[in-house]
A = this chain, B = another copy of it.
Amino acid sequence: MKTSRATPNQVNNTGFTSISNTEGARLTNADGSLNMRKTGLPPWELISIYHTLIHMNRRRFFLFIFLFYTVVNILFAFGYVLIGVEHLEGVSNTGSDSMSGFLQAFFFSSQTLTTVGYGHISPIGIAANSLAAAESFLGILSFALVTGLLYGRFTRPKAYLIFSQQAVITMHKGFRAIMFRFASSKNNHLTDVEVQLSLAFHVRENDKLTTKFFSLKPEMSKINSLALSWTIVHVMNEESPFWGMSWAEMQNVQFELLVFIKGFDDHFSNQVQQRTSYTVNDVIYGAKFLPTFRRSDDGKTTILELDKINQYEVVPLVEELTAIE
C-alpha cells in the first residue's frame, strides 16, 4: 500500500513549482500572502502604484498623502518666492505679520491647491497668476486621485473571514479527517461560498528536496450562504493523499494545507476571496472543535460566538495505521 500513497490526484495547479526551493519555509503565509520575492526588473517596474497604495496599511497611507500635500505646497511656495512675494497682493499688506514671505507663500499655495481661495492673498501679474492657475488645476487633479484612492480603499471588496488558528485531526465517519473552520467576522453576508484545498508535501527524493502537490477533496465544497461558521472537513480515506500515513509520517513530509475561499458579497455586489494556509505545526492530532453558536436566551435567534472559533477539546486518536497495513 505504501507506493499507492502518492498516487491519488497528484497534480500541480497551485502555481508553485515542484522543485522545493525553500527549506522548511511555507509557500503561503497565514495571512494568505505568498512567501516570495521578485527581482530582475528595475524596482519601479516591479511595483504597481495602485496595488501598493491599496494594500498599504491605513496609518502609512494617511502619512503618505499628508506628506504629498506638504511637499507639493513647499514646491509651489518656492515657485511663488522665485516669482517674488510682492506679486501676492495680501502678503505685502500683512508684512507687519511675523510670518516670512516663504510661509505666507506656503499658506497661499495650500489655499490654492485645496481651492479654498479666501482671497486675502491673491496673485498679481502674469507669472503669479499662471502659477496659481496651474496649481488649482493640479490640486483638483491630485485630490481627484486621492479621493479615488481613499474611496477605493474604503470600498475594496474584502471577505472579512476569520479562520481557526489550528486545524484538527479527529475521527469522522470511521476515518480520520482534518478539519478547520471559519466565519465572516463582520456584518457582511457571503453567498455561494466555495472552498478549494491544495496540499503540499515536502519530501526528499533521490537526495533532492522536492515538493509534491495534491488537490484535496473537501466533504462539501460549496454552500449557499455563510450564515454561521463553516467547518471544512477532508476525510483521509482511500482517495486521500494522507491515506495510510501516521502522524509521524505527516510531520515528516512537513505538509502544508493551502486554503482558498471565494464567495459573493451582496453589499459589495462583487466576488470576494481570502487565502490562508495551515502548516503541519498548526495542526492538532487528536482534537475536535467545540460549537461556536448557541440559542439566544429568548429562543428567538441564533448567536454566533466568534471568540469560540479557536476552541477545541483534545480527543486522543487511536493510531489505526496498524489496522490498515
A sample of 22 inter-chain contacts (CB < 8 A) reads: A19-B291, A23-B300, A50-B155, A51-B267, A54-B267, A55-B187, A69-B137, A97-B124, A99-B125, A107-B123, A107-B133, A110-B137, A111-B132, A111-B133, A114-B115, A114-B136, A115-B117, A117-B118, A140-B143, A140-B147, A147-B151, A151-B152
Contact among B24, B94, B150, B291 with A124 in the assembled complex (CB-CB below 8 Å): B94
Q: Is the CB of A154 within 8 A of B50?
A: yes
What is the CA–CA distance of A107 and B129 in the complex, to the nearest angstrom? Answer: 6
Interface residues of A in 144-159 (CB under 8 A from B): 144-148, 150-152, 154-158
Is there an interface contact between B302 and A35, defined as CB atoms closer than 8 Å? yes
Nearest Cβ in chain B — how far from A279, in angstroms?
Answer: 13
**Please, which residues of chain B bring their CB within 8 A of the CB of A15?**
193, 223-228, 230
Q: A22-B300, A46-B185, A48-B188 provided; 4 other pairs, C-beta below 8 A?
A: A15-B225, A16-B225, A22-B302, A118-B121
Contact call B40/A306, Cβ cutoff below 8 A = yes
Known: A22-B295, A186-B48. A302 touches B37 (CB 8 A): yes
A174 neighbours in B (Cβ, 8 Å): none
Interface bin, chain A: 35 or more
| Top-3 shortest CB links A-B | A40-B307, A148-B151, A119-B119
Q: Indicate how many identical chains form the complex.
A: 4
Answer whether residue A165 sits at the interface, using C-beta atoms and an 8 A cutoff: no
Do A144 and B150 have beta carbons less than 8 Å apart? yes
Nearest-neighbor residue (CB-CB) of A160 within chain B = B48
Known contacts A222-B13, A227-B34; A25 and B299 CB within 8 A of each other:
yes
**Which one, B25, B268, B295, contacts A21 given CB within 8 A?**
B295
Interface residues of A in 257-275 (CB under 8 A from B): 258, 260, 264, 266-273, 275
Out of B148, B224, B268, name the residue touching A155 (CB < 8 Å).
B148
Residues A288-322 near B (CB distance < 8 A): 291, 293-296, 299-309
For the complex, is A168 an interface residue (Cβ under 8 Å from B)?
no
Please pick, from B48, B125, B146, the residue contacting A98 in the complex, using a CB distance under 8 A: B125
State whether A51 and B188 are in contact (beta carbons under 8 Å apart), knowing that A14-B227, A148-B150 are contacts in the complex.
Answer: yes
* A37–B301 touching, CB < 8 Å: yes
Provide the A56-90 mask, 1 if CB < 8 A to any CB of B, else 0.
00000000011001000100000000000000011
A45 contacts chain B at the CB level, 8 A cutoff = yes
- Docked CA distance A141–B153 (Å): 13
Q: Smallest CB–CB gap between A132 and chain B, Å?
A: 8
A143: chain B residues at CB < 8 Å are: 140, 144
CA distance A183 to B267 in the complex (A): 21
Does A5 sit within 8 A of B, measured CB to CB? Answer: no
Whole-angstrom CA separation of A55 from B49 in the bound complex: 18
Hey, which chain B residues are within 8 Å of A13, CB to CB? 220, 222-224
User: Is the pair A295, B23 in contact by a Cβ cutoff of 8 Å?
Assistant: yes
Given that A40-B305, A118-B118, A120-B122 are contacting pairs, would A266 and B273 also be in contact in the complex, using a CB cutoff of 8 Å?
yes
